Amino acid sequence: MSSNSSNQINKLFKAKIENFKTSFINNSRNLYTKDKEEGLIHPSEFGMYREELVKEYLKNILPDRMEIGSGFVVTANGLVSTQCDIIIYDKTVTPLIKNEKNQRFFPIESVVAIGEVKSKLTLSDLKDALLKLAKTKGLRDVLYSPAYVYSIRNKKSTDDYKPENDEFDQIVTFLICEKFSFPIEETPLTNIIRCYGDSSP
């Protein structure tokens, strides 16, 4: 690929990122705020609107076989995650599992990534969100010798599958928020990641 075409692709992605940032931060607040002093109108719809913006952005960069949804991650032995804002999954092998409330359940074998979408995060909120993602990610640790599992790399045998030791066999997790309500640049990383040690396994 020539450097010129590479530059054009970079420009395209930068434009999409800028459009996403503008929609996520400014447009969403303009739509769901009457007055800056009064706060949000319809906070739940505001959150759902932002989740849809994230999904639309991710569709630009995901391969066709990947789909994006919301709901719960489940394991074959009956473990269920808390509700996930964003679930990226391999649609070619994911069955449609819904309950009577139209909530969707995704087998952990076909889940590629999970994400949380937030507005403003305190340090405590950030730690809670990271723990929630870690607990859902940990559901894959009990999956041994699966017949199918989505992995970042192709393996010759499922016997090589070790999610508790190999990050390439794990689910990718991410967190998107508008801003931190604490000075992130002055907060030691150890203070943030301490939440993993303070929580029960």
Q: Tokens 């919301």 label which residue?
A: 70
- Residue 194 exposure: Cα atoms within 13 Å on the Cβ side: 8
Residues with Cβ within 8 Å of residue 144, at least 6 apart in sequence = 161
pLDDT at 16: 86
**pLDDT mean across residues, the chain:** 82
Report the pLDDT value the prediction gives residue 80, as an integer from 0 to 100: 94
pLDDT for 190 equals 86
CA gap 100, 165 in Å, rounded:
37
DSSP secondary structure, 74-87, as one string: E-TTS-BPPPEEEE
For residues 168-194, give the mean pLDDT.
Answer: 88
What is the spatial distance between Cα 141 and Cα 148, in angstroms, rounded to a whole number?
A: 15
- Under a CB-based contact definition with an 8 Å cutoff, are residues 72 and 105 in contact? yes
**Global pTM exceeds 0.75:** yes
| Coil, helix or strand at residue 193 | helix
Integer-rounded Cα Rg, in Å, for the chain is 19
DSSP 149: -
Tens-place pLDDT, residues 23-77? 888 777 776 676 655 565 656 677 788 898 899 999 988 999 999 999 999 998 8
Alpha-carbon torsion (134, 137, 142, 145), positive or negative: negative
Strands (E), 33-65: 33-35, 39-40
Determine the Cα–Cα distance for residues 61 and 42; give it in Å rounded to an integer. 30
Residue 153 banded pLDDT, cuts 50, 70, 90: low
